[in-house]
Amino acid sequence: MLISTHSSTVSIKGHFTGIAFNTDRDYSVLERENGTDTLSIGVEGKTPMTRRRLMTLVRTVVQEARAKRLSRIALSLEALRAVEGMDLSAVELTRLIAENAHMANYAFNVFKEKPKKGWDQLEELMLVGELDQQAKASLKLGEIVAKEVNACRDLSNTPGGDMTPTLLATRIKASAKGAAATVQVLSVKDMETLKMGAILGVARGAKEKPTFIIVEYWGGKKKDAPTVLVGKGVTFDTGGLSLKPSDYMLDMHMDMSGGAAVAHAVIAAARLKLPVNVIALIPAVENAISGESYRPGDVLRSMSGKTIDILNTDAEGRVILADALTYAKRYKPALVVDVATLTGAALVALGTKASAVLSKDDALAQKLCALGEESGDYCWQLPMWEEYKGLVKGRFGDVANIPTESGQGAGTIGGGMFLAEFADGYPWAHIDIAPRMTSDKGDHLAKGAVGAPVRMLVRLLEEESKK
């Protein structure tokens, strides 16, 4: 989709369908008056416009246009600013419009036969109104970010048979072409040399070999310590010998969404030429079932030297992340943030509206939540009190991958406490994106992956680049 700008409505009539906002209705209708087509979108007039409502409104505009098979629409910035409560700057407004319009125009149709009339997608969105150079630059920035979000969604939506650990590495390499980001892939032999026993243990039962994907972008000063983003890359999760019920296994090709997110956050930073150093680390495995699968009761020795009691093979994400968090120390990072579809408990706690954030640094957790609010990748902090440390006490190993005693609850916190055992020596936060793995009806997005939290991570890197 092309997003263009125009200073006035002159000369666009008959070529574009105009967008109007109507507080008298809660539905949309396509009207024709004086030879001009107008798509009138109903908005709730009693509730002031907020940043959140703006994002939803932009997505609604695009989805309604697609539903009515409109190819080109014109959105008046003056009409949008006239909606009660709209107080965003032009710079922030254009960025949010670009990001959310592109996200709403996305659909994963790779495996579908193309209809004779073509896909119902918007070809051009024209923003009508005066914009200075800074606002136009922000518009382009938003487009770059949105395209990386959608590329992340492509990776996550691809079925497990077409997205093995090796294929994931190949796709990430292809995505990084043209950007100043480099991609390195560690082999099984490399991981054996590094003694990554946690990753190798989880991958043991799969025919497909694991990979360890490293995406680097050095846009800052050489002396500046990098930000390291760690992403869970389980390309398909059966649950291992602790087999998942079939209903819970269906979308488990998306269990690499954290890895896709951190890769495309780094690629976005490279395309934006942010003056920051940032690394993505993605341990990629299949958690499969065979005679060689790791077992409940096994004890794995991680790269850190700590041993891990495997009490449930379906808590594999935190196990592979343990080695990645240890590897992150090599960079002497200024900050480490890991992203993972880690626990169903996060979905129970927060529903499908927000990711969970955990960190022993409350200021860092609150900063991530604030950036989530700005970007639309909403999140909520959960505690990591000392009292929860018993959740990961090992039986025969140093730490257990689930609580040794059942009925303790706090599943998401337990996952965070486990990861904290390996995230020492640097500031660290964990984002559990399981609630945001797939779209919610209220998102006004296509079915499938939503690309969380790429937008929030990009804003974090923007903040880091200002230091």
Residue type, 233: G
For 17, the 3-state DSSP assignment is strand
- Residue 16 is classified by DSSP as B
Could you say which of 244, 306, 360, 389 is catalytic?
A: 244
For 130, the 3-state DSSP assignment is coil
Residue 205: name the closest of 283, 282, 286, 284 by CA: 286
Q: Measured between alpha carbons, how far is 456 from 378 in angstroms, rounded to an integer? A: 9
Could you say which of 59, 318, 436, 459 is catalytic?
A: 318
Q: Measured between alpha carbons, how far is 454 from 149 in angstroms, rounded to an integer? A: 6
Is 332 noted as a catalytic residue in this protein? no
Q: Count helices and strands (H / E) in the chain.
A: 14, 18
Q: Measured between alpha carbons, how far is 312 from 295 in angstroms, rounded to an integer? A: 8
> Which residues lie closer than 8 Å to 28 by C-beta, 6 or more apart?
39, 40, 41, 42, 60, 64
Burial class (CB in 10 A: 0-12, 13-18, 19+), 385: exposed
Is 112 noted as a catalytic residue in this protein? no
- Under 8 Å between Cβ of 245 and 232: no
Radius of gyration of the chain (CA): 23
- Under 8 Å between Cβ of 352 and 450: no
Q: What is the largest CA-CA distance in the chain?
A: 79
The DSSP result for 309-359, as a single string, is E-S-TT--HHHHHHHHHHHGGGG--SEEEEEE---HHHHHHHTTS-EEEE-
Q: Measured between alpha carbons, how far is 268 from 455 in angstroms, rounded to an integer? A: 9
Catalytic residues: 244, 318
